[in-house]
Amino acid sequence: MKWGIISTGTIARTFARTVNGMQNPDETLAAVSSRSLDKAQAFAEEFGVTRAYGSYEEMMQDPDVDAVYIGTPNHLHYENAKMCLEAGKHVLLEKPMTTDAVQAVNLYKLAQEKHLFIMEAFWIRFLPGMQALRDTIDNGEIGELRHARVEFGFTAPEPRLERKLRADVGGGALLDIGIYTLGFLQFIMRDRVESFSTQVHFSPYGSDDFSVLQLCYPGGRTAHATQAIGTVMQRNAVIYGSTGAILIPDFQKIDRFTVAPYQGESHTVELPFSGTGYEYEILEVTRQVRAGSWYSNIFSPEDSLKVLRLLDEIREAWDFAYPWEKEE
């Protein structure tokens, strides 16, 4: 796949470093675009990208770009992805896919109409450890699934902290961190949430910086999620069943987990991954494009939409809307 990159920020740099580190002739960096030509040229020089563009629209005209990785701020995801699809480019769109489910539905419809691949870049779904975790649950190693708990929080110096929390660019812990915690729980539980209760704290930048969610799923299963920006919380998770539990020290970069029966010996499953971990989602894009599919069957539009619709419902419960939503 010949990749174009929109944005030159931190996550775009990780993506570029990942492609280069794969040393795979089928995965190459063809172009990078930014709203600043100087930034695009500096990025291209650092990562060996063939061409640099001072606008996103210019890169859309490049026939050598097959697929575009989008790493712009959250509030720009929809318009950036729509532009790429209309230009005939496949899309890997950084999380959250969009700031609400309606926008995501529109993108999926457009991709299907144009028969172009699109996927939210929820990279942890493609790690070997996630599939092993799925198999462990499905094989009944902890009995009947009953409850899961996950938390994730970080802090950062200014101005990065402000950028993560500014409401006018789609910031906030729910979109930035909740996409991980709730996405992980959706993978574990599979079903859509039936009901939830929540508590939230809002930051001086206009968005949420800490929230706690209690979730109820079909069959009496429950889950607990905490997400925070400005508070450091270990990325651990626990999955409880009727006969045992699974302990995960870092669900966001899962390379091992411990299966702990309530009676009997515990054992640890280790599945280290190479590089940054983004390699697996990149290969999934190429695999599906070559197969002629417009979506991934590992992380499908339905999977993505379950989480985005839940995020919408949570924000509605908070009576919180982003600035552009208030204008509508």
Distance CA 242, CA 257 (A): 18
How do the pLDDT tens digits run along the chain, 328 residues long?
999 999 999 999 999 999 999 999 999 999 999 999 999 999 999 999 999 999 999 999 999 999 999 999 999 999 999 999 999 999 999 999 999 999 999 999 999 999 999 999 999 999 999 999 999 999 999 999 999 999 999 998 988 999 999 999 999 999 999 999 999 999 999 999 999 999 999 999 999 999 999 999 999 999 999 999 999 999 999 999 999 999 999 999 999 999 999 999 999 999 999 899 999 999 999 999 999 999 999 999 999 999 999 999 999 999 999 998 886 5
Strand boundaries in the chain, DSSP class E: 2-6, 28-33, 51-53, 67-70, 90-93, 118-120, 145-154, 195-202, 208-216, 222-229, 237-241, 244-248, 256-261, 267-270
Q: What is the pTM of this model?
A: 0.96
212-259 residue pLDDT tens: 999 999 999 999 999 999 999 999 999 999 999 999 999 999 999 999
282-308 residue pLDDT tens: 999 999 999 999 999 999 999 999 999
Distance CA 25, CA 9 (A): 25
Would you state the pLDDT for residue 232? 97
- Catalytic residue positions, numbered: 95
